[in-house]
Amino acid sequence: MPEFGDFGSEYDKLRGADDSAYPRPYGLFTADDIDSRMLYKEFQQGVTLYNEVEWGLLSKFVRETTKESVRVWQRNMEFVTAAEGYLETWQKIRAVEILLPLEDFELGFAFTKKGIQDATAGELKETQSEALRADQRLLAKRFFRTCLTPGTGAATRTVGSVGWWDANMSSASLAGPPSWKGNTFDTTHDHYTVSGAADLALSDFTALKREIREHGYSGPLFCFMNTAQVEDCENLAGWTSVMTPVSIIETVAVQGFDAIKQFQGFTIVIDDWMPENYLLAIEAKIRPLTMRLPLNKSAQGLKLWEGPYSAYPLQEAYYGHRFDMAVCHRGAGAVRQITAGAWSDPSYDF
């Protein structure tokens, strides 16, 4: 029997202190003897810090809201000649209600008991890092899918006519784009166009620019393209002579993207989430996309959801992210497919 004064040290050993002769009878530990509860706390802190950081260049084109829809006002108010004693007929202000989807995304991974016991703390931390990178990939894929996919043409507003102006407004019972100065548009107006040729040409950039500017969007223009299109651009006559250096290039590079220089009024951004043979042009000043977040602030952003065992919260814990986005300013972007054939939607798997 230990003396009364020694009881504390013996109790520490039974709990699993640093004496290897006394194995821990209680707790979930990694292969290198780190308490999983401490790792869970560290991972939660890491997720919180991650959510406080902007997700790079793409966030410059996206607003955030918790509303189910966004109302975008259309330009249909006009001044008329006034006359004394006469009241003009009130004008109806037309607005478009853009419905915002909200989806649940979950990472196909959970921290199992065996997985925790057989891995070192460093290996589990690398798993956390990969989960954060997977969330970045999800945001990027959802952004480009939203920008590159027109409506289906169905007789419903939710999927019939979405994205940039897509020539499906009539089938979805929507009005055409609002007029801008002397420019008028009907329900067949389309920002998802084809080049009409198998090779990239300077006229493709000109057409993209015109499709945005004619709606009154005058801010800086960005053009996203796949690496495969860079060589095509470099082979264009006038590519080198038309390029101009701008400070935004360094900004884009810092935010994780490879940018060339300004060309034909665009800041060219290279990103392989863009499918080959597509060009995506966006005006950045208006931030034309809106991301919908859960109403409950504690559910916003990437989440590491606690497992079902309160004593071991890391066991069966998994990552989830609830959000989605939609194009709200439909004239502030355009897509060009480099093909001699008809338009085809790019595919993104989720």
Contacts of 209 (CB under 8 A, 6+ apart): 221, 264, 265, 266, 281
What is residue 97's three-state secondary structure?
strand
Domain limits, the chain: 28-74+106-337
pLDDT digits (tens, 9 = 90+) for 179-235: 998 999 999 999 999 999 999 998 999 999 999 999 999 999 999 999 888 878 777
- Predicted confidence pLDDT, tens digits, the chain (350 residues): 444 344 344 434 334 445 455 455 568 999 999 999 999 999 999 999 999 987 788 888 999 999 999 998 876 667 777 777 666 666 666 778 899 999 999 999 999 999 999 999 999 999 999 999 999 999 999 999 999 999 998 878 778 899 999 999 999 888 889 999 899 999 999 999 999 999 999 899 999 999 999 999 999 999 999 988 887 877 775 555 555 555 544 444 445 455 556 778 898 888 888 999 999 999 999 999 999 999 999 999 999 999 999 999 999 999 999 999 999 999 999 999 999 999 999 987 75
Residue burial 282-317, b: 16+ Cβ < 10 Å; e: rest: bbbebbbbbbbbeeeeeebbbbbebbeeeebbbbbb
Q: Other CB atoms closer than 10 Å to residue 56's CB: what's the count?
A: 15
**φ, ψ for residue 159 (rounded to 5)?**
-130, -10
For residues 233 and 336, is the Cβ–Cβ distance under 8 A? no
- If you search the block for the tokens 């004064």, which residue do you land on? 5
The Cα-based distances of 61 to 1, 39, 222, 224, 326 in angstroms read: 71, 35, 10, 12, 11
Residue burial 250-274, b: 16+ Cβ < 10 Å; e: rest: eebeebebebbebbbbbbbbbbeeb
pLDDT digits (tens, 9 = 90+) for 113-141: 999 999 999 999 999 999 999 999 999 99
| Dihedral over Cα of 326, 330, 333, 339: its sign | positive
pTM (two decimals): 0.84
